[in-house]
Structure 1
């Protein structure tokens, strides 16, 4: 069973990361940018001569690596699944900088059949301390509930979905080898690269990283609602509901709620599977 007091008391070390243009390009390639080498709107995320950092890259910057797998956390890391993700962008991400962030355990919530572990970090310029983004995420510890602690922080992904047809929908392809590229941005979990590991986890083949799906949704939202301008992106929330297999197309359905705010879901049409729900996207209108 999770021990919430132990988790909330964990003091994780600050992570410092040198980010360069190659990191930005590798991240964008992992989201499928560059699939059309004649598309100038894609090239600005993969060509160093005109490079922009993709806002969703904040999700992988200055992360505390696999800290839940360390002895003494009371977490059975083999039963952890990604629950929700939330990112708020303060200013455009740099393509060259030294960044730092300190991950803190913000909440530990008893969900009955499991526990929800919420972490938060603010990514700042290591030299000036100026913030770029705040990232919050939750991990669901399956079969590790029953410790009786209620939620003390706001939900990460609570957007209600409109009961009407979407206002817009964009479908983006993924490639069979996409997870092998995305993992180069820092998540080397063999679930996404090794067929045997995937089978042990109950899948017949490796699955795409959840944060890759989240980033692909951001790509579709930014293209459709922001004119593909990363400087207009302000935030994104989403709840993971089903995995994506590399090679599957992802459809992102969008509902305009008010100027600068949209609700969204992401789905795999070929399997009629919703893969992201309770999505909210905020941008400069």
Structure 2
């Protein structure tokens, strides 16, 4: 069997050193659509090294190493066809703001393998730390079609509340109408080609023949590109452009986006309740859809934890 869940979960953690420079950050920001309009002061904080603010989702590509999807497939016990693989979701927890330049030790290991019947869901955890301590923790959830059915644990089924629906927040943590926003983000035709230069060279995002073999009409946008675009929209729209207010970010990739489409980002910020401890995260709940395909889901179950 190509997937040996027991062997994969027993594998030793993989450690490596990574480094990044402001040039890497600038390239990432351009890859997720920053710089429009090019002279807008709000965009220059993402595109000019002299005033550079690092969007926290840069952590997913820092060091230009293999993205979580590819790294999960490199674990002993995992030998599957890349064309059967989809990025199912991503979570990120920031321990400190990501610096514009740095070096870090990164350790990754498979922490879960769930049996979804017709597919497997793999969870890869990555921890990064520098000389001053922990920087971030991220989890990549990887969906492998055709690799389920071994009678394993099906995994959790909890689904966070999307925007516009009642949440499970306590009654003293309400929302208000001023915290609801909708923005539309155009995806450039060449955006996947630019974003892949930050490290994810999966041909699904560039090669039409490979995309067709994987079941798509044409190359799709990287899920992590949509992930970064969405976080930027939340920071710019609800957090006054302050990247340091982002504490955590979790999203499920419910569908694909294509270059040339328009993404509709709906977001809702909750207010901290009276019973919340000082410094507690305040959630922003988000959903992203593709406008030209009748608001087809792209990101769901998405929450940004803010300070």
Normalised by the length of structure 1, the TM-score is 0.91
Divergent runs of 4+, >3 A: 62-65, 67-72
The reply on whether 1:160 has 2:161 as its aligned counterpart is: yes
Residues 23-78 of structure 1: CA deviation (Å, up to 9, x unaligned): 00000000000121121111111111111111111122355562444495243132
Name the CA distance, whole Å, in 2 between partners of 1:257 and 1:30: 30
The reply on whether 1:33 has 2:16 as its aligned counterpart is: no
Name the CA distance, whole Å, in 2 between partners of 1:13 and 1:163: 41
The reply on whether 1:230 has 2:243 as its aligned counterpart is: yes
Instruction: Give the match's secondary structure for 1:117.
Output: strand
Aligned to 2:285: 263
Aligned to 2:153: 150
Name the CA distance, whole Å, in 1 between partners of 2:139 and 2:268: 23
Aligned to 2:299: 276
> Does the Cα contact within 8 Å between 2:266 and 2:286 map onto a contact in 1?
yes
Instruction: Give the match's secondary structure for 1:28.
Output: helix
Residues 60-110 of structure 1: CA deviation (Å, up to 9, x unaligned): 235556244449524313211111111111111011111221111111111
Instruction: Give the match's secondary structure for 1:270.
Output: helix
Structure 2 gap ranges (5+): 167-176, 273-281
The reply on whether 1:216 has 2:229 as its aligned counterpart is: yes
Instruction: Give the match's secondary structure for 2:233.
Output: helix
Aligned to 1:110: 115
Q: CA RMSD in A?
A: 2.1
Aligned to 1:171: 184
Q: Which piece of structure 1 moves more, 18-27 or 245-254?
A: 245-254
Name the CA distance, whole Å, in 1 between partners of 2:241 and 2:51: 14
The reply on whether 1:91 has 2:96 as its aligned counterpart is: yes
Normalised by the length of structure 2, the TM-score is 0.85
